[in-house]
Chains A and B, each alone.
Chain A
Amino acid sequence: MDGLTDSGHGHFNTKHKWRTEFSGCNYVVKNDTVANHMRVVSLSSFLLRFNYRSTHHLTSNGFYEFLNWFDERAWYPLGRIVGGTVYPGLMVTAGLIHYVLNLLHMTVHIRDVCVFLAPIFSGLTAISTFLLTRELWNQGAGLLAACFIAIVPGYISRSVAGSFDNEGIAIFALQFTYYLWVKSVKTGSVFWTIGCCLSYFYMVSAWGGYVFIINLIPLHVFVLLLMQRYSRRVYIAYSTFYIVGLVLSMQIPFVGFQPIRTSEHMAAAGVFALLQAYAFLQYLKDRLTKQEFQTLFFLGVSLAAGVVFLTVIYLTYTGKFSLSLMRYLCPPPRYAKIHIPIIASVSEHQPTTWVSFFFDLHILVCTFPAGLWFCIKNINDERVFVALYAISAVYFAGVMVRLMLTLTPVVCMLSAIAFSSVFEHYLGDDQKKDSPPTEDSSDEDDKRNSGNLIVTMLMLMLLMMFAVHCTWVTSNAYSSPSVVLASYNHDGSRNILDDFREAYYWLRQNTDEHARVMSWWDYGYQIAGMANRTTLVDNNTWNNSHIALVGKAMSSNESAAYQIMQSLDVDYVLIIFGGVIGYSGDDINKFLWMVRIAEGEHPKDIRESDYFTPQGEFRVDKAGSPTLLNCLMYKMSYYRFGEMQLDFRTPPGFDRTRNAEIGNKDIKFKHLEEAFTSEHWLVRIYKVKNEGSSRTSSFLRKARS
């Protein structure tokens, strides 16, 4: 257990740690056997629980019931309309596979389908990447690209078994849509375009990232027009795609009328109009004399410009169409940093350092510009597409870590092109046959062959390093069910910490079925999914004031917190405490974000500065600020901790995460009582004493009056 203690970060560093992988730390999360692995992972990650729960609802109650599902277990006391607020693609896919398998009398549990969905789809992604790269370059590059995307860490994070996530299937849909698009631009056949639209429809149903497609394809068409590469093929492909794709995308309840209302879809409409105008002009050009055509051209262009200008002004004026393009162009984290602490607090919304690029892509990140270079040097219609794809994706990945996912496929393809063209020249010996053996002596030939051999060997070695890197990253960072933690001793043996499941099981068995559990939002889906209890906030809560209220309860003193908890009808409070084992992702380390978010909504009651020492430090020991030492979160975390001596070298009440002896060892509760503490104290659950006689909530009473 010794190794654990160094993982503590004495000072506050949760900003980046929150919901990030604890990759560099000693916390490497592992499972026992492969079979167990699957089971555990499926019950794992914070976010994915929700998807599983909705899929379960879908399979047991049917599709229409799912669309109308009102989940009263979430966001108590508000509840959540699930059917209209999710992208249903993932759940429907899993449900469909389950249905078909059962129809064939292969009885599997829906959970097993969910667990294996991501690996199946990553296989499909590899196939569609192969197809797309083959269209762009050649078969060899396609094979390399498929190999790359199969193991690259940037995509592995979404394709491990048990990662039941929208992105997992969306990347397949993305790549397949692009393949079909390239195919339809190449052939100009409506058949391929309709296929492209169906694939696009699937993408819209799966992930909000479909906006990337609906902007990239118009951009491709626009650039083709600028490059005077207009052809009937492009015209047929885009016109069909736009109309059919638009109609299909509006069938998803969550998307609804957005494609004709919001500004991020306007580029597609604009390019559609432009393409029609261009085609019309081309048609006229064939019929008219040059002089007539020029007059008509100028008249038409000025008229069109005027009409567009007036329409935009009118729409903006009436407020139907907001020119919110700035929101997309200016880096979102910067916008959010100033305005919304809750967005800034999520680690996935941070900009990307070069280390993350290298970590996720390794050699590919240095070689894919070479592929881009080759593509632009030997440009054709579809290579324009891949160049635009690369440039836009790399921009978005630079702005937000999360969007690394959209960059990964294109990096794999372009890198594969770079490597494949090198191998083509140095690996094969067919060149020797072509060149006539004239004055070149055999000595010279030998030398050249050995040179080729060295180049090939070194390139293969680099690729081998890439494979090794991917394996290392996958095993260390990305196969991480955050439910089961493992720690390593000095001799390499392993301790499994199963506290989360223990606690959720306890909740499930020992509390009332309708009990409401308050916790910070990271654990919302887990509590709902694994303990089957009602939560106040979860990972998808967008109601900032609701989260702020929970944050306020956590950061107030006990009596003030009790009032809030009474008004919210809280029965149990669940917190994560890592002080015993040195787990750095616990609630005390996230605590400042709770304070900050609470301060945003209740600036009169909560002040961030009150939680710091006069020197501006965040300390939990005796020198810490009295407000901190008496707030609910502190008291719940360190209740009875002062009696506990972990080590002979340290005093009782020594917090291993923050390497400090706690400052308030005499903690007593008036309105709460300890209900459960897990084996390693990782999860602590408190019961809120019910002093009021009636169970009816004040909230409901207020609502009635």
Chain B
Amino acid sequence: MAAAARGPPLSFAMMRLSFVLLLLLLLLLVQSGGGQKKKENMLAEKVEQMMEWSSRRSVIRMNGDKFRRFVKAPPRNYSVVVMFTALQPQRQCSVCRQANEEYQVLANSWRYSSAFSNKLFFTVVDYDEGADVFQQLNMNSAPTFMHFPPKGKPRRADTFDLQRIGFASEQLAKWIADRTDVQIRVFRPPNYSGTIALALLVSLVGGLLYLRRNNLEFIYNKTGWAMAALCVVFAMTSGQMWNHIRGPPYAHKNPQNGQVSYIHGSSQAQFVAESHIILLLNAAITMGMVLLNEAATSKGDVGKRRIICLVGLGLVVFFFSFLLSIFRSKYHGYPYSFLIK
């Protein structure tokens, strides 16, 4: 017991002693080793710091000082990939957010891959945290991806060509493999939202059917099915699938005079707004045809039927000429028009 009671102070003293000794030794080493040792030390410290940060978050956030110290300044033995971006909501940079997501996917793939090492770090500099860095690098667009090699200055190819190849993480990984010889296999977290939505929908429909099990007449309602079929048809013929695949902007705003154009000028492309307009026009023409038929078949009084007939005819003729005029404006050299130029 006595030994045990005396134990802690002794060990404390020993520790303190050894610590002081170590410090002294270090100091001596540093003084005698000179510049080379100091550099190595600094490097080790930097790597350790970077490793610590990246173990906490796969993408390291940097401000101006950190950037200069860990990315710009030598000595370094690691590559750094920097995304210059503006993520603050008031900057209204929607591309930045998309690019950021892709970048996070890439950084996470690297962080949790078996090949993870201290040879490559992913960092981000936000404009609102390091505006001086942007000025220093003469950068005036965000997002920009740059690679800082371990030795020497970044060359032209070290800036990722965003305009041309986009910012998909696969492309980024290819670029990094090209610049650093580090191969990253991009692993996207599986997207469960679609499955969950489907399951919800199925359970909702199932629940509804169960609740109304005594009255299932509505399934045999032809109008509902016809509506659903027409929705599919209208969505496809107005090019929603094109929108889905190509992802065009909603409309185009001319930066000079602020005019918003909803119709794309070329026949090879379209805006989302434009496809919605076309959808409505197609639906109106179809409705006109149905009304024309309705007017003739329904058994109401003559005046009412005449009005329905006129409305139907008007819908068909007017909206078709409108559609034709839009087509004409897009398809240069098309000679025909009807009522509306």
Spell out A's residues near B (CB within 8 Å). 16, 24, 331, 333-334, 337-338, 351-355, 357-359, 363, 365-370, 372-374, 376-377, 379, 387, 390-391, 394-395, 397-399, 418, 421-422, 425-426, 440, 444, 448, 451, 454-455, 458, 461-462, 465, 468-469, 472, 603, 608-609, 612, 614, 616
Contact = CB atoms under 8 A, between A and B. Distances in A.
B336 A468 contact: yes
A351 B242 contact: yes
A370 B336 contact: no
B49 interface: no
B241 A398 contact: yes
Contacts of B302: 440, 444, 448
Given A369-B286, A370-B290, A614-B156, A391 B242 contact: no
A616 B164 contact: yes
A282 to B, nearest CB: 21
Contacts of A395: 232, 236, 241
Nearest to B295: A425
A373 B226 contact: yes
Contact of B297 (A368, A390, A425): A425
Contacts of A358: 323, 327
Nearest to B327: A358
Contacts of A603: 178
A425 B270 contact: no
Contacts of A465: 324, 336, 338
B236 A369 contact: no
A472 B223 CA distance: 38
Contact of B246 (A351, A387, A398, A458): A351
Q: Which of A377, A379, A455, A614: most chain B Cβ within 10 A?
A: A455
Main secondary structure of the interface of A (DSSP, over half): helix
Main secondary structure of the interface of B (DSSP, over half): helix
B323 A369 contact: no
Q: Which of B156, B161, B237, B283: most chain A Cβ within 10 A?
A: B237
Contact of B289 (A24, A365, A422): A422
A355 B229 contact: no
A372 B310 CA distance: 22
Given A358-B327, A387-B229, A365 B282 contact: yes
B78 interface: no
Q: Which of A354, A395, A399: most chain B Cβ within 10 A?
A: A354
Q: Which of B156, B222, B229, B246: most chain A Cβ within 10 A?
A: B229
Contacts of B237: 354, 357, 365, 394, 398
Nearest to A13: B268
Interface in B153-178: 156-157, 161, 163-164, 168, 170, 178
Contacts, number: 164
Contact of B241 (A352, A461, A612): A352
Contacts of B334: 472
B226 to A, nearest CB: 4
A351 B247 CA distance: 12
A351 B241 contact: yes
A468 B316 CA distance: 18
Interface string B216-257: 000000110110011011111111111011100000000000
Q: Which of A422, A468, A469: most chain B Cβ within 10 A?
A: A422
A51 B150 CA distance: 58
19 contacts: A24-B331, A24-B332, A331-B244, A351-B241, A351-B246, A353-B267, A354-B278, A355-B331, A369-B234, A374-B290, A377-B222, A377-B223, A395-B241, A398-B241, A418-B293, A451-B310, A472-B334, A608-B164, A609-B164
B226 A334 contact: no
B275 interface: yes
A621 to B, nearest CB: 20
Interface in B265-319: 267-270, 274-275, 278, 281-283, 285-286, 289-290, 292-293, 296-297, 302, 306, 309-310, 313, 316-317, 319
B46 interface: no
B242 A398 contact: yes
Contacts of B241: 331, 351-352, 395, 398-399
Contacts of A338: 168, 170
A451 B309 contact: yes
B335 interface: yes
Contacts of A614: 156
Given A351-B242, A352-B239, A616-B164, A426 B233 contact: no
A358 B319 CA distance: 14
Nearest to B278: A354
A585 to B, nearest CB: 15
- The 7 lowest CB-CB distance pairs between A and B, nearest first, are A425-B296, A370-B289, A398-B236, A398-B241, A376-B226, A366-B285, A354-B239
A351 B310 CA distance: 37
A390 B164 CA distance: 38
Q: Which of B164, B232, B241, B330: most chain A Cβ within 10 A?
A: B241
B152 interface: no
Contact of B313 (A372, A399, A440, A454): A454
Given A358-B327, A608-B164, 10 more contacts: A24-B333, A352-B242, A353-B270, A354-B270, A354-B274, A363-B320, A394-B233, A398-B241, A448-B306, A609-B164
A398 B242 CA distance: 7
A616 B156 CA distance: 12
